[in-house]
Chain A
Amino acid sequence: MSIDSDSGAKGLLGRALDSDLWFSFTRSPVVMVAAVVTLLYFLAAIFAPLVAPQNPFDPASLSLGDSFTAPAWTEYGMPEYLLGTDDQGRDILSTLIYGARISLLVGFAAVILSAVIGISLGVTAGYVGGGFESVVMRVADVQLTVPGILVALMIDGVARTAMPRELHDQIAIYVVIFAIGVSDWPQYARVTRGATMVEKSREYVQAAKVIGIHPLLIMLRHILPNVMGPVLVLATIGLALAIIAEATLSFLGVGVPPTTPSLGTLIRVGNNFLFSGEWWITFFPCLALIGLVLSVNLLGDWLRDALNPRLR
Chain B
Amino acid sequence: MAEVVAKKREARAKIRDAGGREVAMLKVQGLKRYFDVSAPWLNRMIERQPKQILRAVDGIDFEIGQGETFGLVGESGCGKSTVARLIVGLYGPSEGSIELEGRDIAGLSRQQMAPMRRRLQMIFQDPYASLNPRWRVRDIIAEPIRAFGLADGQAAIDARVGELLETVKLTARDGEKYPHEFSGGQRQRISIARALASEPEFLVCDEPTSALDVSVQAQILNLMKDLQREFGLTYLFISHNLAVVYHISDRVGVMYLGKLVEVAPAKTLFTTPRHPYTRLLLDTIPDLDMTGRERMPVAGEVPNPITPPPGCTFHPRCPFANERCRTEIPKARPLGDGAIVACHGIEEGRIPDGPTLSAPAKPEGMA
Q: Which residues of A contact B (CB under 8 A)?
A: 5-8, 202-204, 206-214, 222, 225-226
Contact = CB atoms under 8 A, between A and B. Distances in A.
Contacts of B191: 207
Contacts of B143: 208, 211, 213
A212 B90 contact: no
B225 to A, nearest CB: 22
A6 B177 contact: yes
Nearest to A204: B132
A8 B148 CA distance: 27
Given A8-B177, A203-B124, A204-B130, 20 more contacts: A5-B177, A5-B181, A6-B177, A7-B176, A202-B130, A203-B125, A206-B85, A206-B90, A206-B122, A206-B124, A207-B124, A207-B191, A207-B194, A209-B90, A210-B90, A210-B120, A210-B121, A212-B113, A212-B114, A226-B132
A204 B131 CA distance: 5
Contacts of A214: 110
A207 B143 CA distance: 10
Given A206-B124, A207-B122, A222 B177 contact: no
B16 to A, nearest CB: 28
B239 interface: no
Given A202-B129, A203-B129, A204-B129, A211 B117 contact: yes
23 contacts: A5-B181, A6-B173, A6-B176, A7-B176, A7-B181, A8-B177, A202-B129, A202-B130, A204-B131, A204-B132, A206-B122, A207-B122, A207-B194, A209-B90, A210-B89, A210-B120, A210-B122, A211-B117, A211-B143, A211-B147, A211-B148, A212-B110, A212-B117
Interface string B120-158: 111011100111111010000001100110000000000
A222 B88 CA distance: 20
A213 B176 contact: no
A235 B231 CA distance: 50
Contacts of B144: 211
B139 to A, nearest CB: 9
A236 to B, nearest CB: 20
B62 interface: no
B122 to A, nearest CB: 5
A65 B87 CA distance: 85
Contacts of A204: 129-132
Contacts of B181: 5, 7
B34 interface: no
B147 A226 contact: no
